[in-house]
């Protein structure tokens, strides 16, 4: 059975038609057409698919599209409102927090959620707040430094 729902992604309302079992990730990638959120594992172990749903970081591969009907969804494409990067995005680049970039969208989503909830996190809080995002390239060092830098202002 198909369901007509409205996904509000990065402030834009997208009417889409989905199966009951369709994941939010596949719907946003295939129907909304935003491919910034990545599929790295499909079972919530890597965090590459993370989006914000009403401000919460969610592994969108394991979240039903139907459940997100009417929610405010933010993907990596929606973090910077204009052409300028957000402080977090700039810091990720300046501190070596980006290599292959495949984990980056999810990392940025987690970091954004963390700083929104806790603008001055301790180093431990930063690590816990990013713990659901696996990175194989950077050893996390540049990522933690970038988040600390933005948190310190």
Of residues 8-37, those binding other proteins (CB under 8 A): 19-21, 23, 29, 34-37
- For other proteins, the binding residue among 57, 73, 112, 150 (CB under 8 A) is 57
**In the complex with other proteins, which residue's Cβ is closer, 14 or 140?**
140
- For other proteins, the binding residue among 59, 73, 121, 150 (CB under 8 A) is 59
103-122 residues in contact with other proteins (CB under 8 A) are 103-105, 108, 110, 113-114
83-102 residues in contact with other proteins (CB under 8 A) are 85, 89, 92-94, 96, 98-102
Least Å from the CB of residue 91 to other proteins: 10
Is 47 an interacting residue with respect to other proteins (CB under 8 A)? yes
Nearest to 66 by CA among 139, 146, 4, 129: 4
Nearest to 40 by CA among 120, 131, 105: 105
**In the complex with other proteins, which residue's Cβ is closer, 7 or 92?**
92
Question: In angstroms, rounded to a whole number, what is the distance separating the alpha carbons of residues 145 and 102?
Answer: 19
- For other proteins, the binding residue among 14, 31, 72, 77 (CB under 8 A) is 77
Question: In angstroms, rounded to a whole number, what is the distance separating the alpha carbons of residues 56 and 36?
Answer: 18
For residue 45, CA distances in Å to 14, 50, 100, 110, 132 come to: 28, 11, 18, 14, 7
Separate counts of helices (H) and strands (E) for the chain: 5, 5
């Amino acid at each position: 059975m198909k369901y007509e729902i409205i996904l509000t992604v990065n402030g834009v309302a997208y009417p889409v038609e989905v199966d009951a079992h369709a994941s939010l990730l596949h719907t946003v990638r295939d129907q909304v057409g935003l491919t910034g959120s990545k599929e790295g594992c499909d079972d919530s172990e890597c965090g590459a698919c993370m989006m914000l749903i009403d401000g919460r970081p969610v592994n969108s591969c394991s979240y039903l599209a139907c459940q997100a009907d009417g929610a405010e969804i933010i993907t990596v494409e929606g973090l910077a409102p204009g052409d300028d990067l957000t402080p977090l995005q700039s810091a990720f680049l300046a501190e070596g927090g980006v290599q292959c970039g495949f984990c980056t969208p999810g990392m940025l989503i987690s970091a954004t959620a963390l700083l929104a909830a806790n603008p001055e996190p301790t180093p431990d809080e930063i690590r816990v707040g990013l713990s659901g995002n696996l990175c194989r390239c950077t050893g996390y060092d540049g990522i933690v430094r970038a988040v600390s830098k933005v948190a310190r202002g």
